[in-house]
Structure 1
Amino acid sequence: MPPVLPRPRALVSAYLDRNPAERDALAGFLTTLDALGDPADLAALPGHITCGAVVVDRHRRVLHLRDEASGGIPLHPGGRVEAADAGLPATALRAVAEKAGIPASFLVLTSEFADAPIDIGVRDTAPDPLRGEPARRHYDVRFVFLLADDAPAPALPEEAADVVWLPFEEVPSPSLRRKLVASGPDGTVVPANASAIVHDGRGRYLLHLRDADKPWIWEPGCWALLGGGREPQDRSPYDTVVRELAEEAGLAVAGLEPYAVEHVVSTLGTRVPIQLFTGRWNGDPARLRLTEGVMLAWVRPEQFPHMTMLESTRELLERHAAEHPAPAGAFVGEEAGPSAAPSGTVPNVVGVHLYLERGGQVLLGLRHPDSAYAGGSWHVLAGHCEAEAATACLVREAYEEAGLVIDPADVDLVHTVHMRERPSAAPRVQLFFRARHWEGVPELREPDKCVAWQWWDAKDLPEPTVPYTRAALDGIRAGRAYTELGWTRHP
């Protein structure tokens, strides 16, 4: 079962912060939660604690079910917590699906309550001599969901007799009725999240690589847009996206404009409407103050299919790229034309290479036989530097090619090869960085480029090894910082 966030005790405490007058009535509930051996073990919750779903449609009505078991009294869908439920809201969502036939993907959390309860109902139950159960208090933790306009009509199981949609003022529970009337969710689904499509106007998009070791977050291990959920101080989705850009990356983008509203599925399975904004920025991601995730990088549309990202994110970016093509003649990073470089200057391609050493062995990858470069040869993990810092490129390539997570602060430049493979080829500067620390085990993330990762004795490299790679590894072992290859030397 995935981590339960927030845990029941914290969830109820937050509810009491908003409803302090109910603290005495819920004291027994807190005592019960405190007595649990593992607060995250939902299956340990006693039977007199249930979770209910308050489903609100756009006519300000609440879904209720009426059957023989309830004596004809209309009740909102609810049920006891099960071990497989990933949190208390998940119990309420399961009850809606099982008892009313409405999947979670047609329900939307409200911006006001999110995954916190709108109400906790309390009632005393009579003793049950047949079951040997004493009189006790029953607690019903109630979560509010908005019904999407395209939601299917409730599909009831055979034992359910009727569906009743009740206006707020007719909801049977006094406490729930009072809170619904006071908060006034009108059933209109509005974006509670906001994200930004940040591009440079030349075909590049600023993407955020999210943490892969946090399965409870949205899009773990994926490339995504910067953005997040609305907070109480945000007056609009625009306020949300501006705040999120500043908090996540210290980034301010001038001229942000609304682009579209997209819908995704949350970790709970509910629908999440996201207001998307678009704006231009052309700075260096390596200089941003990243506070969440692994890294930020400029990415071209042709790279999207080779990156780990949600299909919905890829389709969104491809649509935007088709609508905003790069100017003719421009290339990423600089403006084309005679002013791009001083007269007589020949651009040098910059390559970055990862030198990983473990117990006298170095990590090499076997290039795919059909690779356009060095097919069938052994090579260190490498890539071409784009309009980014070399260390940022190294970090990006290590994750994209092998799933390795490296902090740019943990790498050192240990060798440089300045080379020209043939007189007509562009000169290249090949930078080799040693990583002092890394996380993860090498994976085949791009099997069309690399078919195997293997550790080799640095003194006995395999054949064939890419020649300049062998020269660089020999130079590193010898303590040399620089190698030249392919240049004609004049006496």
Structure 2
Amino acid sequence: MIRNDAGEYLLHLRDHIPGIWEPGMWSLLGGGREPADRSLEETVRRELLEEAGLHIPVLMPFGVEYAKSSDGATVPIQIFAGHWSGDPAGLELTEGVMLHWFRPGIMPCLRMSPSTLDVVLRHAETCAADANRPEDSGTLSGRTSAPESRPPAAPLLPASSPGGGAVLNVVGVHLYLERDDGRILLGLRHPDSAYAGSTWHFLAGHCEQESAVACLIREAKEEAGLLIRPEDVDLVHTVHLVDTHGGQPRMQMVFRARKWRGEPEILEPDKCTAWQWWEPDALPSRTVPYARAAVAGIGVGRRYTEVGWS
């Protein structure tokens, strides 16, 4: 994950060849470990040189992205972060179609993996937060350096753009499932989740090239084995959320399924480690705050909540 002085990220447009990893999608440069590689850092440095002739002086681990391979298996990918501000047109690309700089605000419009989009946006949020800290904090996105050597960390496009540019919102969908006894379903997120680890949350996901209802139905089946029909779904609450000042806005849509088939199963243990039914007025203390706000809003018949804008 390579960021420049302008706060843009270098993305790689992959070949559109059936059978390869993420064909025709924008992704990060990288690849698989080979037997001769002594570490994952050595792997990523080799891949950067082989694919684009790039040498990044400082690379620091940022997190782990969990992606799905073509056979449906979950694959952990170590993400390293580095800084470079060159012209990608001058690089000799040996794989894929092209390299291009993108600001985080435009990325939800690109054809890219939701897990890759999520990890880049979270890195950008971290850089924005670091930019607002005192200079003597000495860290930027996991990289320790002297303050004067730190590259400028541009925040994401602001929620209100004085320059008049449009700001794109990430759209999330969430399942509000309520049993006959009034209890609702929440999942315990994996401790290593990039967002809200070890915290209870709705079954949720990001919209891809699909409608919000289609996304909800897909996520319910993939994450918990629940079968839901479109005609049994109602939008019951929306949370317009911004996690950090100047951060990426998110429109979080909460849908109630009036009917469904199946009992919740742990089908993606790298994301969710437990499903449990809770009383709406007695949620666990470690519940995602905007999910708690949505449950409270649904309880009183309110359809909309704003979080983080004031």
In the alignment, does 2:139 pair up with 1:374?
Answer: no
For 1:484 and 1:306, the matched residues in 2 are separated by 39
What is aligned with 1:463? 285
Alignment of 1:444-459 (within 5 A): 444-459=266-281
What is aligned with 2:68? 303
Any conservation in 1 of the 2:236–2:298 contact (CA below 8 Å)? yes
For 1:306 and 1:419, the matched residues in 2 are separated by 34
What displacement does 1:436 show?
A: 1.1
For 1:382 and 1:460, the matched residues in 2 are separated by 21
Residues 395 and 324 of structure 1: CA distance in aligned 2, closer, same or farther (over 3 Å): farther
For 2:246 and 2:235, the matched residues in 1 are separated by 28
For 1:308 and 1:370, the matched residues in 2 are separated by 18
Residues 328 and 366 of structure 1: CA distance in aligned 2, closer, same or farther (over 3 Å): same
What displacement does 1:335 show?
A: 8.2
Q: After superposition, what is the alpha-carbon deviation per residue over 1:53-89, rounded to whole angstroms, capped at 9, x for unaligned?
A: xxxxxxxxxxxxxxxxxxxxxxxxxxxxxxxxxxxxx
For 2:111 and 2:193, the matched residues in 1 are separated by 31
What is aligned with 2:227? 405
Any conservation in 1 of the 2:108–2:168 contact (CA below 8 Å)? no
Letter in structure 2 aligned against 1:380: F
What is aligned with 1:356? 177
For 2:176 and 2:184, the matched residues in 1 are separated by 7
Where does the alignment leave 5 or more consecutive residues of structure 2 unmatched? 1-17, 27-65, 75-93, 113-162
For 1:325 and 1:364, the matched residues in 2 are separated by 40
For 2:251 and 2:108, the matched residues in 1 are separated by 19
For 1:307 and 1:378, the matched residues in 2 are separated by 25
In the alignment, does 2:226 pair up with 1:420?
Answer: no
Q: After superposition, what is the alpha-carbon deviation per residue over 1:95-138, rounded to whole angstroms, capped at 9, x for unaligned?
A: xxxxxxxxxxxxxxxxxxxxxxxxxxxxxxxxxxxxxxxxxxxx
Q: After superposition, what is the alpha-carbon deviation per residue over 1:6-56, rounded to whole angstroms, capped at 9, x for unaligned?
A: xxxxxxxxxxxxxxxxxxxxxxxxxxxxxxxxxxxxxxxxxxxxxxxxxxx
What displacement does 1:372 show?
A: 1.4
User: Whose radius of gyration is greater, 1 or 2?
Assistant: 1
What displacement does 1:376 show?
A: 1.2
Letter in structure 1 aligned against 2:291: T
Residues 432 and 327 of structure 1: CA distance in aligned 2, closer, same or farther (over 3 Å): farther
The structure showing larger relative contact order (alpha-carbon pairs under 8 Å, at least 6 residues apart) is 2
For 2:232 and 2:246, the matched residues in 1 are separated by 37
Residues 406 and 324 of structure 1: CA distance in aligned 2, closer, same or farther (over 3 Å): farther
Q: After superposition, what is the alpha-carbon deviation per residue over 1:189-214, rounded to whole angstroms, capped at 9, x for unaligned?
A: xxxxxxxx69997329xxxxxxxxxx
What displacement does 1:325 show?
A: 4.2
For 1:374 and 1:448, the matched residues in 2 are separated by 13
Any conservation in 2 of the 1:203–1:326 contact (CA below 8 Å)? no
Which one of 313, 324, 346 corresponds to residue 167 of structure 2?
346
Which one of 272, 287, 300 corresponds to residue 478 of structure 1?
300
Letter in structure 2 aligned against 1:371: S
Alignment of 1:219-368 (within 5 A): 302-304=67-69, 307=72, 325=96, 327-329=98-100, 333-334=109-110, 344-358=165-179, 359-368=181-190
What displacement does 1:308 show?
A: 6.5
Q: Secondary structure at the match of 1:418?
A: strand
For 1:327 and 1:473, the matched residues in 2 are separated by 44
Q: Secondary structure at the match of 1:462?
A: coil
Identity level (%): 55
What is aligned with 1:394? 216
TM-score scaled by structure 1?
Answer: 0.33
For 2:232 and 2:226, the matched residues in 1 are separated by 13
What displacement does 1:410 show?
A: 1.4
* Number of equivalences: 179
Any conservation in 1 of the 2:19–2:70 contact (CA below 8 Å)? no
For 1:356 and 1:324, the matched residues in 2 are separated by 45
For 1:423 and 1:485, the matched residues in 2 are separated by 11
Which one of 376, 384, 397 corresponds to residue 206 of structure 2?
384
Any conservation in 2 of the 1:333–1:387 contact (CA below 8 Å)? no
Residues 305 and 468 of structure 1: CA distance in aligned 2, closer, same or farther (over 3 Å): farther
Any conservation in 2 of the 1:202–1:332 contact (CA below 8 Å)? no
Any conservation in 2 of the 1:307–1:400 contact (CA below 8 Å)? no
What is aligned with 1:442? 264
Residues 326 and 457 of structure 1: CA distance in aligned 2, closer, same or farther (over 3 Å): farther
Q: After superposition, what is the alpha-carbon deviation per residue over 1:422-463, rounded to whole angstroms, capped at 9, x for unaligned?
A: 103201100000011111111111111111000111121111
For 1:398 and 1:326, the matched residues in 2 are separated by 34
For 1:481 and 1:455, the matched residues in 2 are separated by 22
Letter in structure 1 aligned against 2:277: W
For 2:257 and 2:73, the matched residues in 1 are separated by 23
Alignment of 1:7-406 (within 5 A): 202-203=24-25, 302-304=67-69, 307=72, 325=96, 327-329=98-100, 333-334=109-110, 344-358=165-179, 359-406=181-228
Any conservation in 2 of the 1:406–1:435 contact (CA below 8 Å)? yes
What displacement does 1:468 show?
A: 0.2
Any conservation in 2 of the 1:349–1:428 contact (CA below 8 Å)? yes
Any conservation in 2 of the 1:355–1:435 contact (CA below 8 Å)? yes
Residues 398 and 335 of structure 1: CA distance in aligned 2, closer, same or farther (over 3 Å): closer
Q: Secondary structure at the match of 1:397?
A: helix
For 1:421 and 1:415, the matched residues in 2 are separated by 18
For 1:466 and 1:392, the matched residues in 2 are separated by 24
